Amino acid sequence: MNIVNARLRRREGWFTLVLDGGIIKAITPQTAMQAPNEGDLDAQGGLVIPPLVEPHIHLDATLTAGEPEWNMSGTLFEGIERWGQRKATITHEDTKRRAHETIGMLRDHGIQHVRTHVDVTDPTLAALKAMLEVKEEARHLIDLQIVAFPQEGIESFPQGRALMERAVEMGADVVGGIPHFENTREQGVSSVKFLMDLAERTGCLVDVHCDETDDAQSRFLEVLAEETRVRGMGARVTASHTVAMGSYDNAYCSKLFRLLKRAGLSFVSCPTESIHLQGRFDTWPKRRGVTRVAELDRAGLNVCFGQDSIKDPWYPLGNGNILRVLDAGLHICHMMGYEDLKRSLDLVTDNSARAMNLGDNYGLYEGRPANLVVLDAPDDYEVVRRQAKARYSVRHGKVILRREPETLRYA
């Protein structure tokens, strides 16, 4: 199968992509637009990119908002309380049904790579068991990484360390953490050291909910970064949220950024979630409660955007559209300059793939998997401005989504 009349990022003109055996065999320039042959996909001048990426979501909690109660305060901590209520009633099939429904939403928006955090502060590990099955059952649609996420703490939850170890034994790909939620700072520090030991010993990746609080004294990022640096694990470690950084003073950040560069870890920001959850204890002015995305990016650190939640106790909205989050994030993070807009898709494609350590399994290069999306806009700027839709989504050389053009009629 060929894809003709394609636009590519950072390249002029039109291109043909030759797909064969689930692999990108060739990418060749065209001298002009051309008529497609039978069996070809016509990009019609639309941008062709590797699949969009969702680097941070909680599939085990999606579609549970209001069950049994709504989060009325809008705070992170009430969200955790409400989830504790819902968690007591989850079943294997309930978790799988909601996860598959959410994966369908992600597919519809051109996403094929997903990292989900799964709560393992449950002695039965019910959600993890269900998600391991979902990972296999949804393989034809997405590649799924599973994070062993200790929602109620590693040190502060009974048998927290043993549950984390068991989750990795069962097949979790990534070791998570939540040091700012531990009962004391000392427990937060020891939880980071434990999770890094576990990941180093087992070869897992790391993705830590880190400093997701407006408290400017929450400084576990420096602990995670130093553990990453001394172990040489930068390519395998991600710090999610880090919203306390938005409240740090500039003098401290100047020192912190030197360490972050030496550590080489990645960052995920969930801007729509953070601006909703944070600033809840402020009167006026109210902080945005989002990490320093633009500053991290301009310092040469790898940073990307994630959705975090879809209709759950922490965030009542969401529909699987990562471009919606990109649009909001560019606004919230003051990244609306034309140079930022021209490369904005990095924040939901290449940077996210790097955070997930996808390596040669991602990207539009000859010899790599024929996984790609054809968008109905010609470049990054227009994709964001129009909130472009996926016209086609191709996985392992097969079309898994076709979207017919919308028809409008006027009186």
Q: Tell me the DSSP string of 394-406.
A: EETTEEEEE-PPP
Rounded Cα distance between 18 and 149, Å, is: 40
232 in Cβ contact with 199 (< 8 Å): no
Rounded Cα distance between 272 and 259, Å, is: 27
Q: Is 205 left (phi over 0), alpha (psi -120 to 50) or beta?
A: beta
Active-site positions read 212
Q: Tell me the DSSP string of 283-342.
A: -SSPP-----HHHHHHTT-EEEE--B-SSSSS-S---S-HHHHHHHHHHHTT--SHHHHH
Instruction: Match 């199968």 to its residue by tokens.
Output: 1
- Burial group, residue 21, by CB count within 10 angstroms (0-12, 13-18, 19+): exposed
Q: For residue 90, which of 66, 64, 72 has the smallest C-alpha distance?
A: 64
Q: Which residues of 112-146 are buried (b: 16+ CB within 10 A; e: fewer)?
A: bbbbbbbbbbbeebbbbebbbebbeebeebbbbbb
Enclosing H/E stretch for 249: none
Task: Name residue 208's beta-bridge partners.
Answer: 177, 239
3-state helix, strand, coil in the chain (%, to 5): 40, 20, 40
Enclosing H/E stretch for 83: helix 76-87
Rounded Cα distance between 265 and 243, Å, is: 16
Rounded Cα distance between 271 and 32, Å, is: 40
